[in-house]
Structure 1
Amino acid sequence: MEPSHKRRRLLQRSSSPQYKLDDGENDDYEPYVPVAQRRQEKLAKLSSWTKTSDKRGLTSTSVDRTDQLQGEDEEEARKEKLRKDRTLLAEAQEVHLKKAAEDAMKTEAEKQEEQDAEILAAIATRRKLASDLELAKGIQYTESLKTSWRPPKYIGEKIPEQLVRIREKYHIVVEGEDVPPPIESFADMKIPSSIIQHLRKNKIIKPTPIQIQGIPTAFSGRDMIGIAFTGSGKTLAFCLPAIMMALEEETKLPLARGEGPVGVILCPSRELATQTFENVKAWTGALVKDSHCPPLNSLLCIGGISMSEQSHAFTTGIHLVVATPGRLIDMLEKKRFTFNNCKYLCMDEADRMIDLGFEEDVRNIMSFFKRQRQTLLFSATMPRKIQDFARQSLVKPVLVNVGRAGAANLDVLQVVEYVKQEAKMVYLLECLQKTPPPVIIFSDNKNEVDDIQEYLLLKGVEAVAIHGSKTQEERQYAIRSFKSGAKDVMVASGVASKGLDFSDIQHVIIFSMPKEIEDYVHQIGRTGRSGKTGIATTFVNMSTQDQTLLDLKYLLMEAGQKVPAFLEKIEDPRVAQGSTLKGCPVCGGLGHGISNCPKQEEAQRRQIASHRVQDMGNY
């Protein structure tokens, strides 16, 4: 028998709910009616109201509402049928027809501008110049590298209007945040007196415009883009800050064997790297004369030479390295030295470094950095594409521009002459009579370089030749004998056109006009250096492309030079289209846009060729 309290609890428990399963007996149940059926019932109901509207004295509003609902249903059914029948091909055709209609309303100039903008946007998608570690971890530096250098007090206290007047005086254009002040003397830059004396012995008394603004900017630790015409003293502007940074590090704590470098300078060619290294050795050697300054150790890393010749440089710490990308990567991979303490990176002829197949090498070099560094990019021709790319890769950069990027040196008299191909050799001898030696002759064709040298030797002219297929010993001999005055003429390909400094060159002859106007600017820039004047004679004929001639015409007009009659006759097709005459953002040429840029076409050709080589290697 159950206890009484359990029976009481069972009595109090509510009974289980009873469900009515029979639809007929469940008054609350409403069956589901499909949407289409409900709509038809609603429509029938509205129709019945319409039939009795006259008897009840109703207005025609109900009829209108009925027609509206019917129209909406029909439209919805039609759209649903179209959606079912629609294909991707039909959609693509509709978009194409719509775009074609829009294009038909645009002018040729507007179409060209849109095409140029699309190409430029595609180019701008390249990765930044950063190390793999920084890209992988998302490391971004927001502040510039801190240095101990400060401008003199009286210069730091100058008001902005005074600084603007100084920059206008030297035609200096700057862009960036908190730009350091321009300084008009080496002494006020706090450069050691021994270096100042060395510069005076070499007739360098006052800084050039790029040095007036560039050296204080670099001394302040700021990332920098330096643009100035050829022969304007850019080498001193980026080497001196590297030397002073290395000197400061050595003074704080001397480098031991295996340590360093503090700074590295990258050059696109062996000849330019050798020339820069010789300048660095001369300036650091001048510091040794000051008893308060410790010696600085420099290293040259280029292909074609044995590094064992510089084995003495590895006995102590290395302060500065001047290198070409390939040999530098080789030394870093072999761990002959590291970038663990490197704080300074400069790329000379930076636009050529990034464009001429060195971009991946530069990224590889970046991957060896373990800390923030100061980055400087210098060139005479740095088009807008490279400037925009550099701004993305640098930290709060300062752009220092002396003249338009890609403009010709105003100290060079440019003479353009129409010479038939078969008459070039004979006329060359006449041109050599214009000025006394030394003279440089440029040709883009290596075989033509050898032919010109052979012809001149047969005519009794002391000539040497230099191009990329020569051995390193032959190239060094050619430059050494030409600089010393043992040879009167040097015949060269483009390898000698970028950055090389030859003293007292009064005449440059361009035997074959290069396709890219940038190369022309570099070639004529071998004369008229350091404030001196020079002559550049250029041969053109029917084989020269009209686009190249148009670039040349605008360059002569910009520099205020005489434009020959045959160049005057060349018309710019963009003028007929009504488009604005802007410089090409890829190469800086004034006679064409990015869509027909020869430099861009050459880059695409090299890219396609490299892909073919890779595909062949995969089979």
Structure 2
Amino acid sequence: MKESEQEQRQSSTATETEEEDEHQAQEQEPVPVVKAIGPKADVSLLDQHSRLKKEAEARNVSEREKQLKEEQKILESVAEKTALMGVAELAKGIQYQESIQTGWQPPKHIQDMPESRHNRVRRKHHILVEGESLPAPIKTFKEMKFPKPLLSCLKKMGIKAPTPIQIQGIPTVLSGRDMIGIAFTGSGKTIVFTLPLMMFCLEQEKRLPFIRDEGPYGLIICPSRELARQTNDIIVSISQYMENEGFPAIRSGLCIGGVAVKEQMDVIHKGVHVLVATPGRLMDMLAKKMINLDVCRYLCMDEADRMIDMGFEEDVRTIFSYFKGQRQTLLFSATMPKKIQNFARSALVHPVTVNVGRAGAASLAIIQEVEYLKQEEKMVQLLHALQRTPPPVLIFSEKKQDVDAIHEYLLLKGVEAVSIHGGKDQEERTLSVQQFRAKQKDVLVATDVASKGLDFPEIHHVINYDMPDDIENYVHRIGRTGRRGKTGIATTFVNKNCDESILLDLKHLLIESKQKIPPFLATMVSENEQFLAMGGEVGCSYCGGLGHRITDCPKLEAMQSKQANNIGRKDYLASGAADW
């Protein structure tokens, strides 16, 4: 009995001891902490935002790189594989290694100046230069070593100081270097290639006078007859002024279609120093051996990109084949996309690229206004637009029949107007331009034959009756006003017939020029803007348009369509259809 009681007491004591130990253990065990729910709950919102932003940027970079690679493939696939050189030079593998040497040197004090000074001058005038052994920029015509009579002639023409393209371009040409010159319309590109050429011709004439049927020493090729005539007139007027001051006569010949060949040959037979020509007539006269390029050492292509775009590329290559030796080659334009710059470099020796502003940019001196109108409202609004500024005014239209309709309408309304387009004969075109330039007529209505390079005095207003199919043509058109430091107005009529791609290009051109954006353009968003949001570069790498990418380039699409049609036509003709 005692033993059982003792066992019970021991058992109860053991149980109590276990319970006490368990209770103490529970007291000693730490209270568990309830953690916040969520994978990044321990990271601040600011840090989370920063991390997400970096991830988004990384995704954008990879997408941008992928798109750029695709665009590069497209550009390489359409790049010209044949060099812009003469057929004979390509066949013989002739490559010139050194630039042509001239007798001109910059003044010693400029030669002694450090490169840092030259870079300061370029930065001040917004001049971008590419190339090897760059010639120094020169800020006055006197320091360029032009003779006093020529300086007086320039002052008489209202040219007192060089423009940015002239500051860098003229020393480059005088040095004998090949050059690609890009500057906005009205910046004085013509002076860059005409003055050095006249100096070279004077040098040749003094050494050994040109005899009958000799020449030309310099060849200037222009895409339109009007531009060729204007360039020739500048050379003739400067030459006459210099001749009156006792310098040898510099004879210039004009070689364009629509004019009797005999009239042109009478000038050429006397021996010409300079020949200004359009590609078609020049090709014809070279093929018939009416002229030769045996002594020609200077070639300038004005509005070079337009000539290549207009289908003159093979003509230019053939013209190159008529040269008997190396020539100094100059290419000029206001709009020259990279694809044409790269293509053109194949024909140049150690070229210097002088760029004032972005290639294809509009002049900041032009106030650009865009109006959305129905087709039937255009004629009435045209009269309202004409009343906004005093004459002279230029009106552009895409179609010849529209030019004729506008011209007739203005005459009925009592407006003193003339018109030009490719369907008119050369005599009528020349007379219209002369009357407008002499301010005998208030309005000139024209197709794009008047948009490239023509310089009219004091154009106050350019009206685009319709938007051109190419943004480069728009830049050339409005560039007829706002020239020589003056302000001009450009009014453009658009409607639903305009292609969305060209309107997007126009929108971005207006943004770049800090112009007012009409509401209907502001609402349009392009793939290019989405690409810009990812940190990409602006514009198309093929044509230079700002509102689209190369994947949506209308110019590239048109070119490929044209090539496909030509292939189909060749196949059709090859099948025997030509016999019909």
Same fold, judged at TM 0.5 (above): yes
The structure that has the greater radius of gyration is 1
Tell me, what secondary structure is at the counterpart of 1:128?
coil
Instruction: Using the TM superposition, name which of 120-129 and 229-238 deviates more.
Output: 120-129
Corresponding position: 1:195 with 2:147: no
Picking from 564, 581, 587, the partner of 2:518 is 564
Paired with 1:431 and 1:499, the residues of 2 have a C-alpha distance of 24
Distance 1:367 1:559, change over 3 A: same
Distance 1:146 1:585, change over 3 A: same
Using the TM superposition, give the Cα deviation of residue 328 of structure 1 relative to its aligned residue in structure 2, in angstroms.
Answer: 0.7
Q: What's the CA shift string for 1:97-143, capped at 9, x where partnerless? A: xxxxxxxx997655543332122112223311212221111111111
Paired with 1:575 and 1:226, the residues of 2 have a C-alpha distance of 29
Using the TM superposition, give the Cα deviation of residue 330 of structure 1 relative to its aligned residue in structure 2, in angstroms.
Answer: 1.3
Identity of aligned residues (%): 56
User: Aligned ranges for residues 291-306 of structure 1 at < 5 Å?
Assistant: 291=246, 293-306=247-260
Counterpart for residue 476 of structure 2: 522
Picking from 448, 452, 475, the partner of 1:498 is 452
Corresponding position: 1:270 with 2:225: yes
- Give the total of aligned pairs: 514
Could you tell me which amino acid in structure 2 is paired with residue 561 of structure 1?
Q
Q: Is the 8 A contact 1:194 1:289 kept in 2?
A: no
Tell me, what secondary structure is at the counterpart of 1:448?
helix
Distance 1:131 1:417, change over 3 A: same
Counterpart for residue 248 of structure 1: 203
Picking from 272, 283, 307, the partner of 1:353 is 307
Paired with 1:213 and 1:381, the residues of 2 have a C-alpha distance of 18
Using the TM superposition, give the Cα deviation of residue 601 of structure 1 relative to its aligned residue in structure 2, in angstroms.
Answer: 2.2
Corresponding position: 1:235 with 2:186: no
User: Aligned ranges for residues 216-227 of structure 1 at < 5 Å?
Assistant: 216-227=171-182
Picking from 535, 538, 552, the partner of 1:596 is 552
Using the TM superposition, give the Cα deviation of residue 586 of structure 1 relative to its aligned residue in structure 2, in angstroms.
Answer: 2.5
Could you tell me which amino acid in structure 2 is paired with residue 267 of structure 1?
C
Tell me, what secondary structure is at the counterpart of 1:370?
coil
Q: Is the 8 A contact 1:167 1:182 kept in 2?
A: yes
Corresponding position: 1:535 with 2:489: yes
Paired with 2:258 and 2:567, the residues of 1 have a C-alpha distance of 28
Q: What's the CA shift string for 1:469-512, capped at 9, x where partnerless? A: 11112211221121122221111111111101111100001110
Could you tell me which amino acid in structure 1 is paired with residue 200 of structure 2?
M
Corresponding position: 1:259 with 2:179: no
Instruction: Using the TM superposition, name which of 578-587 and 545-554 deviates more.
Output: 578-587
Counterpart for residue 161 of structure 2: 206
Counterpart for residue 135 of structure 1: 90
Paired with 2:304 and 2:252, the residues of 1 have a C-alpha distance of 22
Paired with 1:601 and 1:240, the residues of 2 have a C-alpha distance of 40
Q: Is the 8 A contact 2:85 2:346 kept in 1?
A: no
Corresponding position: 1:435 with 2:389: yes
Counterpart for residue 608 of structure 1: 564
Counterpart for residue 12 of structure 2: none
Using the TM superposition, give the Cα deviation of residue 398 of structure 1 relative to its aligned residue in structure 2, in angstroms.
Answer: 0.3
Paired with 2:148 and 2:203, the residues of 1 have a C-alpha distance of 16
Counterpart for residue 331 of structure 2: 377
Paired with 2:234 and 2:530, the residues of 1 have a C-alpha distance of 50
Using the TM superposition, give the Cα deviation of residue 348 of structure 1 relative to its aligned residue in structure 2, in angstroms.
Answer: 0.2
Paired with 2:308 and 2:372, the residues of 1 have a C-alpha distance of 34
Picking from 572, 583, 586, the partner of 2:542 is 586
Paired with 2:571 and 2:231, the residues of 1 have a C-alpha distance of 39
Counterpart for residue 482 of structure 1: 436
Distance 1:270 1:613, change over 3 A: farther
Picking from 327, 333, 351, the partner of 2:281 is 327
Q: Is the 8 A contact 2:527 2:549 kept in 1?
A: no
Using the TM superposition, give the Cα deviation of residue 166 of structure 1 relative to its aligned residue in structure 2, in angstroms.
Answer: 0.9
Tell me, what secondary structure is at the counterpart of 2:322?
coil
Could you tell me which amino acid in structure 1 is paired with residue 220 of structure 2?
I
Counterpart for residue 117 of structure 2: 162
Counterpart for residue 150 of structure 1: 105
Could you tell me which amino acid in structure 2 is paired with residue 433 of structure 1?
Q
Tell me, what secondary structure is at the counterpart of 1:444?
coil
Tell me, what secondary structure is at the counterpart of 2:143?
helix
Q: What's the CA shift string for 1:429-463, capped at 9, x where partnerless? A: 11111001111111112111111111111111121
Using the TM superposition, give the Cα deviation of residue 514 of structure 1 relative to its aligned residue in structure 2, in angstroms.
Answer: 1.1
Distance 1:332 1:160, change over 3 A: same
Picking from 444, 459, 468, the partner of 2:413 is 459
Counterpart for residue 90 of structure 1: none
Q: What's the CA shift string for 1:276-310, capped at 9, x where partnerless? A: 1101111121221232x211111100011012223
Paired with 2:483 and 2:333, the residues of 1 have a C-alpha distance of 15
Counterpart for residue 285 of structure 1: 240
Tell me, what secondary structure is at the counterpart of 1:356?
helix
Using the TM superposition, give the Cα deviation of residue 326 of structure 1 relative to its aligned residue in structure 2, in angstroms.
Answer: 0.9
Counterpart for residue 66 of structure 1: none
Tell me, what secondary structure is at the counterpart of 2:271?
coil
Paired with 1:281 and 1:532, the residues of 2 have a C-alpha distance of 26
Paired with 1:614 and 1:195, the residues of 2 have a C-alpha distance of 54
Corresponding position: 1:450 with 2:404: yes
Q: Is the 8 A contact 1:210 1:226 kept in 2?
A: yes
Tell me, what secondary structure is at the counterpart of 1:393?
coil
Q: Is the 8 A contact 2:256 2:277 kept in 1?
A: yes
Q: Is the 8 A contact 2:528 2:539 kept in 1?
A: no
Paired with 2:572 and 2:300, the residues of 1 have a C-alpha distance of 37
Paired with 2:126 and 2:65, the residues of 1 have a C-alpha distance of 34
Paired with 1:366 and 1:310, the residues of 2 have a C-alpha distance of 22
Q: What's the CA shift string for 1:316-347, capped at 9, x where partnerless? A: 32211000011111111222221111110000
Q: Is the 8 A contact 2:144 2:171 kept in 1?
A: yes
Paired with 2:453 and 2:554, the residues of 1 have a C-alpha distance of 22
Tell me, what secondary structure is at the counterpart of 2:311?
coil
Distance 1:305 1:581, change over 3 A: same
What RMSD over aligned residues (CA atoms) do the two structures have, in Å?
1.7
Q: What's the CA shift string for 1:554-583, capped at 9, x where partnerless? A: 111111111112211111224446652432
Normalised TM-score (structure 1): 0.81
Q: Is the 8 A contact 1:261 1:339 kept in 2?
A: yes
Paired with 1:466 and 1:614, the residues of 2 have a C-alpha distance of 34
Q: Is the 8 A contact 1:527 1:535 kept in 2?
A: yes
Normalised TM-score (structure 2): 0.86
Q: Is the 8 A contact 1:517 1:587 kept in 2?
A: no
Could you tell me which amino acid in structure 2 is paired with residue 131 of structure 1?
G
Counterpart for residue 53 of structure 2: none
Paired with 2:140 and 2:392, the residues of 1 have a C-alpha distance of 33
Could you tell me which amino acid in structure 1 is paired with residue 204 of structure 2?
E
